[in-house]
Amino acid sequence: MSGSGYGDRGNKDRSITRPGGGTMRVGTASGVHPLPRDDTAPFLIGERMTGGYGKGADILHDCTIGVDPGEIAVIVGPNGAGKSTAMKAVFGMLDLRGGAVRLEGEDITALSPQDRVARGMAFVPQTSNIFTSMTVEENLEMGAFLRRDDIRGTMAQVYDLFPILKDKRRQAAGELSGGQRQQVAVGRALMTQPRVLMLDEPTAGVSPIVMDELFDRIIEVARTGISILMVEQNARQALEIADKGYVLVQGSNAFTGTGADLLADDDVRRSFLGG
Ligand SMILES: Nc1ncnc2c1ncn2[C@@H]1O[C@H](COP(=O)(O)OP(=O)(O)O)[C@@H](O)[C@H]1O
Ligand SMILES: [Mg+2]
C-alpha cells in the first residue's frame, strides 16, 4: 500500500497495511522540525523505531506506533512481541538506534522521560505503577509533583472519573483491589494533565466486568481530547474501542488498521484473536 489519501486521518484509515505501508512517512535525520502543523502526521508517533536494551540485540525493528488527539490507539500481539518495549521507546526509556519519536511534529527522540512529561506525556507502566504504602490521595499528589499550580481541580476530576477512589482516598493504595489500583495508576497519570496517556495493560488481572468499566472510563478520558495509546492483552475487546490498532509480532508491525478493520480481518482473527 502507498500512502492513504489526503485529509485521511489515522482514525479513518481504511487500510490494513503491512510494514512500511499506510500513512507512515520516513523521517528526516535532522533533529528539530520547525513545522508547527502537519495534518497528516499523527500527534504522537514513534516512527520506524529500531532498538533494544543496553547493548543487547534489537527488540524493535522498524516499529511504528502513533495516536491522534482524542483517539484510542491499541497495541496488541503475542507475549514478548515488544509491546511494552515499544511503549518505553515512545516514552524515552530506550535508546533507539533508528527511527524517531515526534510530538506535534517536533522530534523529541533525545528528550528524557521527565522532559516528555513536561511536554504532556504520561505513562502508566505494566508493573509497579503505584506506591502501595502511600494513600490513594498521596499517590495522586505524587502524580502532580511537577506542577506548581493548584491541583485540586484535577483531583476532583479524577475523583469524578473514579468515585471509589474518593471513598478510599485515606487508605493505603496497596489495600485496594486490582481494578482499583489500576484506577489509582491512571488517576495518578491524569494528575499531570497530560495530552497523551500511555497505558501498558491497564486491565491486567482484573475481571471482565472491571475491564469493561475501565474501558468505559478510558473512552471518557479520550472524549476530553486526550490521546490514549495503550497495550492490551484483551485484544478483541480493546480493538472494539480502538480508533487505531497495531498488531506487533517480534518487534515489527504485522498489521495496522482501524480497530474495526483488524477485527474483520481473517488473518488477524485467525492468528491473534482466536479465530
Ligand atoms: N529490561 C529488559 N532487558 C532486556 N530485555 C528485555 C527487557 N524487557 C523486555 N525484554 C525483552 O524484550 C522482548 C520484548 O519484551 P516486551 O516488550 O516486554 O514484550 P511484550 O510487552 O509484548 O510482552 C522480550 O524478548 C523480552 O525478553
Ligand atoms: Mg508487556
Grid cell, residue 181, equals: 489500583
Instruction: Give 3-24 pLDDT, tens digit per residue.
Output: 333 333 333 333 333 333 333 3
pLDDT exceeds 50 at position 34:
no
Q: Is 51 in the pocket of ligand 1 (CB under 6 A)?
A: no
Mean of pLDDT over the chain:
87
Q: Is 88 in the pocket of ligand 1 (CB under 6 A)?
A: no
Q: Which residues of 239-273 are buried (b: 16+ CB within 10 A; e: fewer)?
A: bebbbbbbbbeebbbbbbbbbebbbebeebeebbe
| Angle of CA points 13, 67, 275, to nearest 5° | 60
Residues in the 5 Å CB sphere of ion ligand 2: 83-84
Q: Reduced to 3 states, what is the DSSP secondary structure of residue 41?
A: coil
Q: Which residue has the higher pLDDT, 86 or 32?
A: 86
The ligand placed nearest to the CA atom of residue 125 is 2
All structural domains of the chain = 17-120+195-205+220-275 (3.40.50.300), 129-193 (no CATH)
3 C-alpha to center of ligand 1: Å?
Answer: 31
Q: Which residue has the higher pLDDT, 275 or 191?
A: 191
Specify the pLDDT at position 146.
81
Q: Is 56 in the pocket of ligand 1 (CB under 6 A)?
A: yes
Specify the pLDDT at position 28.
37
Name the pTM for this structure.
0.86
Specify the pLDDT at position 265.
95
220 C-alpha to center of ligand 2: Å?
Answer: 24
Atom of ligand 1 nearest to the CA of 78: 22
List, in sequence order, the alpha helices (H) in 22-145.
83-91, 113-118, 136-143
Instruction: Give 50-81 pLDDT, tens digit per residue.
Output: 999 998 999 999 999 999 999 999 999 999 99
Grid cell, residue 115, equals: 522532559
Instruction: Give 223-272 pLDDT, tens digit per residue.
Output: 999 999 999 999 999 999 999 999 999 999 999 999 999 999 999 999 98
Specify the pLDDT at position 38.
52
